[in-house]
Amino acid sequence: MKLEVCENKRIAKNTFSLKIDNPALFDASPGQFFMVKINDFDYPLLRRPFSIADFSDRYIEIIYKVVGEGTKILAGKQKGDFLDLLGPLGNGFGDIKKGKKIFLVGGGIGAAPLIYLSNTLKSMYGISYEAYFGFNTKDEIYVDFGKTATMDGSSGYAGNVVDMIESQLDENCLVLACGPTLMLKRLAYVCYQKKCSMKVSLESRMACGIGVCLGCVVETTDKDFKRVCVEGPVFDYREIEWQAL
Ligand SMILES: Cc1cc2nc3c(=O)[nH]c(=O)nc-3n(C[C@H](O)[C@H](O)[C@H](O)COP(=O)(O)OP(=O)(O)OC[C@H]3O[C@@H](n4cnc5c(N)ncnc54)[C@H](O)[C@@H]3O)c2cc1C
Ligand code: FES
């Protein structure tokens, strides 16, 4: 569906907030994503997946980091331009029940889907949570809530976000996480040790986004494979064969 860009502005180092008009034709859950066609012509050829950073009946927000050709072109989009979006896709974080102490844990651009999740937890379910976000440096921070860690110590806790929260986790906690694979691997190990529950949103390279190409599969602990775009991107961390990532 072709939708109009309302705003596309830089919010941190190499990081942009893109707001797209929502004609209120569909609804979307936190953790779901859109496949975005970057141009009217076929370059880049494949759509790029982006999580929903916020969603209302007025607009869809995507927060993205410029890492390659597609996101570089996206950064040049202006108010009034049109983008072709496919979605919302994937399963999302699903129902979050009250009872556990909830930790939102994001790393870098992986914090983006947790913004929409945090808004939903608060407004729809009245569930409280603690949020922790890790970045490399202060100028990469684009979230305005929760506690932050920076690898260079320029803001908040000095070090990685997993070390920051590790001592607080136990079997009464539910972690909802998204971030770089290395961070998630370490977090999975900590959650396993502490008998803590965790739902994790994975990012893998995607070609189709609709379950056809099998380009996005991850190995699961039952020696099977699951498609991140259809069965995910959110999984119970115990389903994932972390050593294969
Ligand atoms: C479900 C899902 C949700 C995502 N949500 C967001 C989001 O909200 N914001 C955001 O900025 N990005 C998000 N991503 C990642 C985003 O899709 C890629 O950064 C984007 O496709 C890069 O396009 P490009 O053409 O700029 O880079 P390319 O030229 O395609 O690649 C540039 C570099 O980035 C690496 N790269 C590209 N895609 C990925 C990936 N999926 N995982 C790891 N490394 C990758 C490549 O290996 C290469 O080194 C998400 C990915 C998935 C699968
Ligand atoms: S991206 Fe094609 S099957 Fe998932």
Residues 67 and 119 in one domain: no
Residues 41 and 125 in one domain: no
| Backbone torsions φ then ψ of 194, nearest 5 degrees | -95, 5
Residue 196 in any domain: the answer is: yes
Cβ atoms of residues 158 and 133 within 8 Å: no
Residue 230 in any domain: the answer is: no
Residue 243 in any domain: the answer is: no
Please report, for the domain that includes residue 30, its CATH number: 2.40.30.10
Q: Nearest ligand to the C-alpha of residue 15?
A: 1
Residues 8 and 74 in one domain: yes
Residues 124 and 193 in one domain: yes
Tens place of pLDDT per residue across the chain (245 aa): 899 999 999 999 999 999 999 987 778 999 999 999 998 888 788 999 999 999 988 999 999 999 999 999 999 999 999 999 999 999 999 988 788 999 999 999 999 999 999 999 988 788 899 999 999 999 999 999 999 999 999 999 999 999 999 999 999 999 999 999 999 999 999 999 999 999 999 999 999 999 999 999 999 999 999 999 999 999 999 999 999 99
**Ligand 1: centre distance to CA 70 (Å):** 9
Residue 211 in any domain: the answer is: no
Number of domains observed in the structure of the chain: 2
H or E stretch covering 165: helix 161-165
Residue 236 in any domain: the answer is: no
180 forms beta bridges with none
Which residue among 185, 201, 217 closes a domain? 201
Residues 59 and 113 in one domain: no
**Ligand 2: centre distance to CA 32 (Å):** 14
Residue 42 in any domain: the answer is: yes
Residues 73 and 106 in one domain: no
Residues 34 and 122 in one domain: no
50 Cβ below 6 A of ligand 1: yes
Q: Which two tokens stand for residue 109?
A: 């651009």
Residue 11 in any domain: the answer is: yes
| Ligand 2 pocket residues where CB is under 6 Å | 206-209, 211-216, 227, 229
Residues 113 and 168 in one domain: yes
**Ligand 2: centre distance to CA 194 (Å):** 33
Find the domain containing 140 and state its range. 101-201
CA atoms within 13 A on the CB side of 222: 5
Rounded to two decimals, what is the model's pTM?
0.95
Q: What is the pLDDT of residue 126?
A: 83
Residues 194 and 128 in one domain: yes
CA separation for the pair 143, 2 (Å, rounded):
28
**Ligand 1: centre distance to CA 116 (Å):** 19
Q: What is the pLDDT of residue 23?
A: 83
